[in-house]
Amino acid sequence: MSHADSPVPVKARSGNTLTGRMCPPGDKSISHRALILGLLAIGETKVRGLLEGDDVLRTAAACRALGAQVTREADGAWRIAGAGIGGLHQPEQVLDFGNAGTGSRLMMGVAGSHPVTVTFDGDASLRKRPMGRILDPLTRMGVTVVDQAEGGRVPLTLKGPRETIPIRYETPVPSAQIKSAVLLAGLNAPGTVTVVENQASRDHTERMLRLFGAQVSVEPHGEAGRLITLAGQPELRGVELTVPADPSSAAFPIVAALITPGSDIVVESVMTNPLRTGLITTLMEMGADITLTNERENGGEVVADLRVRHSALRSVEVPPERAPAMIDEYPVLAVAAAFAEGETQMRGLHELRVKESDRLQAVSDGLAAAGVAHRIEGDDLIVCGDGSAPPGGGTAQTHLDHRIAMSFLVLGLAAPGGMAVDDGAMIATSFPDFVPAMRRLGAEILEG
Ligand code: S3P
């Protein structure tokens, strides 16, 4: 990828109110999974509302390399003619996942459990992210790590066993990517695979596996955990599904409207799976005026329209157990907290250190550039506001991280000095239409 060579500076200016309706793009987690299960199914899968961001397009390319036929129809629907479990092809080239942690990690479970040899690579951000957390359970399932960059990183090469070993695995951190890699590998194992989670993480893999015809049972485990059991070697059948709008992308217009005086917007068809709505819960505790209307089902998930109006926010303490339900939303919550009155304490953020960037550090540096008082205490972030807008006016370094870029542009929409980011190119990984969509609501965002 050439993003690092050609950064796209972007600026946001304050002064405009945000009004109108918008629909965020399809959920990234669900989009990856729809393509992957389409690859592993027999017959045809049709997906509407797929996120056409770079991360997901990389997964589509990997599915093709592994034997699926993946096409985009003129009406925007995607069709996947599956290769079936056990039917993957030996890819001819390296699978380059660009910036995509989810696509690469889930696909390690898929390809690693088949008798093929596959090399995974990515951009400078992905090359820094730990893959040992996926390689550990996969090795126990019989996968050979032929080669890896120092510290268990990509580029790495996996060779699948002739027969994948079914295991019981307790995830060391609450991570849907680890859980999903094990379950997806388990699809090609003769027997039962069990994943134990001490804290529940997003459950889209379990839900979608059922939709495609797998037998998956989910039981409570301890206070907040789950025990997930999958019967291996099912015959998955292609399905038709519609991807609901991504709550992690919805987070940006939602926070923008809350902090920009006079704003009143509706964000449509947002997935309200409780394992994804930690940010909405937190914002409501902070006094946000958010109303959920028109709740309905869409693609096996519940969605709702969210009306969001500018609100006076007050600080709260966000407990560590809420982190899995809002792990990608802390950067934009930190922005909301900068406009709130009091000290917002976000606890237990260690997983933020291994995202597309070290997000704890990147948020802290961006807040400093915007003139926001804050501190990091161990794994906690404390943001101090007085209920008025912070000055803004600086430039946030995005470190190839889409969510850092969008968060600080949102801050600039309501800070008197606006805010710049050094590089907005990565926004295309998850929310390619972010700038035009925000402009349609009235935001002033300038590229270049
Ligand atoms: C994701 C899981 C989360 C999240 C990521 C998407 C998924 O990562 O941060 O953006 O689709 O499974 P972890 O599993 O590392 O928490």
pLDDT, one tens digit per residue, over 57-88 is 999 999 999 999 999 999 999 999 999 999 99
Same domain, 253 and 354: yes
Q: How many CB atoms lie within 10 A of CB 219?
A: 9
Strand arrangement of the beta sheet that strand 216-221 belongs to: 168-170, 192-197, 225-231, 216-221
The average pLDDT across 112-134 equals: 98
Q: How confident is residue 5, by pLDDT bands cut at 50, 70 and 90?
A: low
State how many domains the chain has: 2
Higher pLDDT, residue 5 or 184:
184
Q: What is the CATH number of the domain that holds 18?
A: 3.65.10.10
pLDDT at 292: 98
Q: How many CB atoms lie within 10 A of CB 18?
A: 25
Asked if residue 5 belongs to a domain, the reply is: no
- Counting ligand 1 atoms within 8 A of each CB, the residue from 35, 175, 184, 279 with the most, and so the one to mutate, is 175
Same domain, 169 and 273: no
Q: Residue 345: which domain range? A: 10-25+244-447
Same domain, 20 and 33: no
Domain boundary among the residues 180, 209, 232 is at: 232
On the question of pLDDT at 3 being above 60, the answer is no
Same domain, 16 and 47: no
pLDDT at 448: 82
Residues in the chain: 448
Structure pTM? 0.98
Compute the mean pLDDT over every residue in the chain, rounded to the nearest whole number.
97
342 torsion bin: left (phi>0), alpha (psi -120 to 50), beta (else):
left
Q: Whose CA is nearest to atom 9 of ligand 1?
A: 328
Instruction: Return binding residues for 3-phosphoshikimate.
Output: 28-29, 33, 175, 177, 328, 355
Asked if residue 397 belongs to a domain, the reply is: yes
Ligand 1 center from residue 415 Cα (angstroms): 30
For residue 330, give both structure tokens. Answer: 């802390």
Residue type, 80: I
Give percent of the chain above pLDDT 70.
99
Please tell me which residue in 96, 328, 365, 401 is annotated as part of the active site: 328
Instruction: Return binding residues.
Output: 28-29, 33, 101, 129, 175, 177, 328, 355, 359, 403
User: β-pairing, 144-149 with 117-121?
Assistant: unpaired
What torsion do the CA atoms of 22, 28, 34, 37 make, to the nearest 10 degrees? -170
What pLDDT, in 10s, does the model give residues 272-310? Answer: 999 999 999 999 999 999 999 999 987 779 999 999 999
pLDDT at 298: 79
Q: Among this protein's residues, is 328 annotated catalytic?
A: yes
On the question of pLDDT at 47 being above 50, the answer is yes
Within 6 Å (CB) of ligand 1, which residues are found?
Answer: 29, 102, 175-177, 180, 202, 327-328, 351
The average pLDDT across 224-248 equals: 98
Ligand 1 center from residue 391 Cα (angstroms): 32
Q: How confident is residue 2, by pLDDT bands cut at 50, 70 and 90?
A: very low
Asked if residue 2 belongs to a domain, the reply is: no
Q: Whose CA is nearest to atom 5 of ligand 1?
A: 102
What pLDDT, in 10s, does the model give residues 367-419? Answer: 999 999 999 999 999 999 999 999 999 999 999 999 999 999 999 999 999 99
On the question of pLDDT at 111 being above 80, the answer is yes
pLDDT at 435: 98
Q: Is the Cβ–Cβ distance between 406 and 433 less than 8 Å?
A: no
